[in-house]
Amino acid sequence: MTALKLNRITISIYTIAAPFYMVRFVFSGGDSMNTRVAVMSIIVENSEMTAELNAVLHSYGEFIIGRMGIPYRQRGINIISVAIDAPQDTIAALSGKIGKLKGVSVKTAYSAVMSND
């Protein structure tokens, strides 16, 4: 076996039987494993998207610290706050998925505090 380490990637090459080789790539965490605390503010103007929004939030449940929903009946909207502790790319992916829902808008505020979990 021959191993080569490049930054966050380890490449291992195994000789099975010449001329056949097996190559294995292993990616290590690096910066992507640092988690941040963020708060997402979500406004739902289309109540038909509520089930789909809940499904998206449920799929990221392992990262969600807590959430609070406020129905604003006078305006016919729902206001939701979601506190999350996750890698920044995970937070961005969740925000992007929510933002694609019709009649749903989202803004995210990030804490400067990072942890390496």
pLDDT of residue 28: 58
CATH topology of domain 33-116: Alpha-Beta Plaits (3.30.70)
Q: Given a cut of 60, is residue 99 above it in pLDDT?
A: yes
Q: How far is CA 95 from CA 9, 13, 74, in A?
A: 28, 39, 26
Token pair of 51 as six digits: 């089930």
Mean pLDDT of the chain: 84
pLDDT band at residue 1 using 50, 70 and 90 as cut-offs: low
At 90 the three-state DSSP class reads helix
CB of 57 within 8 A of CB of 64? yes
Residue-wise pLDDT tens digits, 30-82:
554 689 999 999 999 999 999 999 999 999 999 999 999 999 999 999 999 99
Which residues on adjacent β-strands are paired with residue 89?
A: none
Domain boundaries along the sequence of the chain? 33-116
pLDDT of residue 25: 62
Find where tokens 């961005």 sit. 92
